[in-house]
């Protein structure tokens, strides 16, 4: 606690930190789409990459809000944390703070689909042991929704793919009006979900891709934010 307080005082006394005065919002973790009160669909995101970015943004002097769909990681010191569950809850939380955000980092792995129906009670096995059919429908497209409201915000997205990585990431960069997309091939060992390391390719409009070494998520977080800062990320006109 004392160390956290000292760190905070230091950050406030160091106005030349690269993100001093900037408001950074980071989403993290895998959202959950409930089938019933007990079961849900989710994904392998651990939240570690988003938490690392929130921590580095704070160390760089930003005012940081972490919108987290992951509950078991310790909150980084000096960062405001809001917990969310579903894609819809994440959209509402980001939407509420978006106008007052300078840099948005969408590191959360947002569920693309949710069950059409949410059962009130735990679904019991049918007595005849028959197969079940689950109807799924698209969740709201958060980046697309926000793209329509974009003003000064510098928006960083993520693409986690198992094939056609750069093609998929480039398409997302353009269609969602992103300033930077972090592409990672989650089928590679040591890359992407759950681990403490990552290797990513940073794509920006009209610029050459930059591929990092395999490194800790903290090192990757620094690389992402320094790249954004070099672009003048989130400076109001």
Interface residue with its own copies, options 20, 95, 112, 170 (CB under 8 A) = 112
Residue 72 binding its own copies, by CB under 8 A? yes
With 0-12 / 13-18 / 19 or more C-beta atoms within 10 angstroms meaning exposed / middle / buried, residue 208 is exposed
Q: Tell me: does residue 174 bind its own copies (CB under 8 A).
A: no
Nearer to its own copies, 7 or 199 (CB): 199
Binding to its own copies, residues 121-140 (CB under 8 A): 121-122, 124-125, 129, 131-138
Residues in contact with 62: Cβ distance below 8 Å, sequence separation at least 6, in sequence order: 19, 20, 22, 23, 24, 103
In the list 187, 190, 210, 235, the residue contacting its own copies (rule: CB under 8 A) is 187
> 215: which residues sit within 8 A by CB, 6+ positions away?
197, 198, 199, 223
Token readout for 51 is 């938490």
Place of tokens 């792995």: 109
* 116 is an interface residue for its own copies by CB under 8 A: yes
43 flagged as catalytic: yes
C-alpha to C-alpha distances, 94 to 30, 99, 141, 146, 150, nearest whole angstrom: 15, 9, 12, 9, 13
Sequence-separated (6 or more) residues with CB below 8 Å from residue 144: 175, 176
Give the nearer residue to its own copies in terms of CB position, either 31 or 153: 31
- The distance of closest approach from Cβ of residue 42 to its own copies in the complex, given in angstroms and rounded to an integer, is 6
Q: Does 208 bind its own copies (CB under 8 A)?
A: no
- If the CB atoms of residues 9 and 194 are measured against its own copies, the closer one turns out to be 194
Of 96 and 138, nearer to its own copies (C-beta) is 138
Q: Which residues bind its own copies (CB under 8 A)?
A: 35-44, 71-72, 109, 111-113, 116, 121-122, 124-125, 129, 131-138, 160-163, 168, 186-187, 193-194
């Amino acid at each position: 606690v004392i160390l956290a307080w000292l760190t905070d005082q230091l950050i406030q006394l160091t106005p030349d930190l690269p993100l001093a005065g900037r408001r950074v919002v980071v989403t993290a973790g895998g959202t959950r789409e409930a089938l019933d009160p007990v079961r849900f669909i989710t994904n392998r995101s651990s939240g570690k990459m988003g938490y690392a970015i929130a921590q580095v943004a704070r160390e760089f002097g930003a005012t940081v809000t972490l919108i987290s769909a992951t509950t078991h990681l310790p909150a980084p010191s000096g960062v405001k944390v809001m917990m969310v569950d579903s894609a819809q809850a994440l959209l509402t939380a980001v939407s509420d703070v978006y106008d007052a955000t300078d840099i948005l980092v969408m590191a959360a792995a947002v569920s693309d689909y949710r069950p059409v129906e949410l059962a009130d009670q735990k679904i019991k096995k049918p007595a005849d042991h028959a197969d079940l059919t689950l109807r799924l429908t698209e969740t709201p497209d958060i980046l697309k929704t926000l793209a329509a409201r974009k003003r000064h915000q510098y928006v960083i997205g993520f693409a986690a793919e198992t094939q056609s990585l750069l093609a998929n990431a480039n398409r997302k960069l353009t269609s969602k009006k992103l300033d930077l997309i972090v592409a990672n091939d989650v089928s590679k060992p040591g890359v992407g979900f759950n681990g403490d390391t990552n290797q990513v390719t940073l794509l920006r409009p009209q610029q050459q891709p930059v591929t990092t070494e395999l490194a800790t998520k903290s090192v990757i977080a620094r690389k992402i934010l320094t790249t954004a800062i070099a672009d003048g990320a989130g400076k109001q006109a």
